[in-house]
Structure 1
């Protein structure tokens, strides 16, 4: 009787710890290519604030929009009278291993800062991915919360942007991001792993990275690339 393979993780905490220790975006992207998920990397202009940062967690999706005043009374939309819209509610909804991931506004102001990082860190969030800029970057680095963005720009979102909704489907650079999808980022990029394919993707990625370790040793020992590819099937 054939036994099912023993799972290497039983909780999200175990899974994300395993990903941070053994995996990297390139190998996850490679295995998703092989199973037909070929549009999972967010645009290359989004980068972690520090090369050593790794983000591994579940998406809390946040939809932002441009506005042209911090507060507008008597609007048909009551959110227009609310500074920052639903940003504070979205931030306070974070739990352990969540990733605040935001898009929708023009890249003309910062979507994230030091105080938001302080709150997210207290809530044990895994990090933040902003399709826009961050500010208070020295404070963010001091806090140690992993953050990825377009870069640093101090202009405030107060009179320029509001959060319209959260935990809704997003699209960033043609990549669909749904609440609960895995967000994984390192110095080489940011990938989105759909929740309904995550077990297959992570197991394949672990197998590939462990095989690549054997290939690396073989190449370092003098084996040619043709022979290595024939023997191991990866390169």
Structure 2
């Protein structure tokens, strides 16, 4: 029985698209999409971070992080490592040593569908991480099983290697690369419109009048 799978790295998302996505707020995308959002319990360790990049995926057994140690130093600057924890929410696969290895390697970020540990070390290294809280119970090097660059489930969303990922203080979204640019363009247009809306509020107009909500309520009363 083959317990480990190691597939090649996927094609990278173009850097111009990554730069465009990093101007987008995930909450703006939430105004017009519904199914690309990972579970909101996967949160930023440092909410000031916003990153976008290419999905590189890893599935680990509950208590075994051997494959993570093997691959963590092999990623590229545009990669975001998404770790499927096989449903485990007890063991932290990511801590201080893995953070240092990731920071030295220089890839973009990590998103763990489970807890992490050594949060102060993550913050000191200024490495962007999203996770399901904290745990002092850690994984071990048991060499039981694992899979690198296969389809995984992160917070209820299927992630394929090579997908476009955007993560910020509000959450994490995963996009098919074929639609990522169109999503970014729509979101950026909405963000520009929001700036204009706020200017109108400051000039004395009411929110209900601008959005049409007050008219809708008046018609229903």
Give the TM-score band, short-chain normalised. 0.7 to 0.9
CA distance in 1, matches of 2:207, 2:145: 51
Runs of 4 or more, structure 1, over 4 Å off, are: 159-163
- Asked if the contact 2:66–2:142 (Cα under 8 Å) also holds between the matched residues in 1, the reply is no
Structure 2 residue 36 is matched with structure 1 residue 54: no
1:65-119 CA distance string (max 9 Å, x none): 235xx7xxxxxxxxxxxxx342233313311121111112411110211222222
- The aligned counterpart of 2:83 is 102
The CA deviation at 1:216 is: 1.2
In 1, Cα distance between the equivalents of 2:149 and 2:130?
A: 19
CA deviation after TM superposition for structure 1 residue 163, in Å? 5.4
Q: How does 1:39-50 map to 2 (within 5 A)?
A: 39-50=35-46
Q: What residue number does 1:213 align with?
A: 195
| Equivalence for 2:111 | 129
Q: For 1:1-235, what aligned pairs fall within 5 Å after superposition? A: 12-20=14-22, 22-31=23-32, 33=33, 38-66=34-62, 84-103=65-84, 104-158=86-140, 164-229=146-211
Q: Residues of 2 paired with 1:14 and 1:184: CA distance?
A: 14
* 2:93 partner SS: strand
Alignment CA distance shift 1:41-1:185 (3 Å): same
TM-score, length basis structure 2:
0.81
CA deviation after TM superposition for structure 1 residue 56, in Å: 1.6
The equivalent of 1:80 in structure 2 is none
For 1:186 and 1:26, locate their aligned partners in 2 and report how far apart those are by CA, in whole Å.
Answer: 9
Query: Please, what is the CA RMSD of the aligned residues?
Result: 2.1
Which secondary structure does the structure 2 equivalent of 1:151 belong to?
coil
CA contact (8 A) 1:57 1:182 kept: yes
Matched-pair contact (CA < 8 Å) for 1:133–1:152: yes
Q: Distance in 2 between matches of 1:161 and 1:189?
A: 32
Normalization by structure 1: what TM-score? 0.77
Gap runs ≥5 in structure 1: 1-10, 71-83, 231-235
Secondary structure of 1:217's partner? helix
Q: Aligned residue for 2:5?
A: none
Q: 1:145 Cα shift?
A: 0.6
Cα distance change, pair 141–173 in 1 and its aligned pair in 2 (3 A): closer
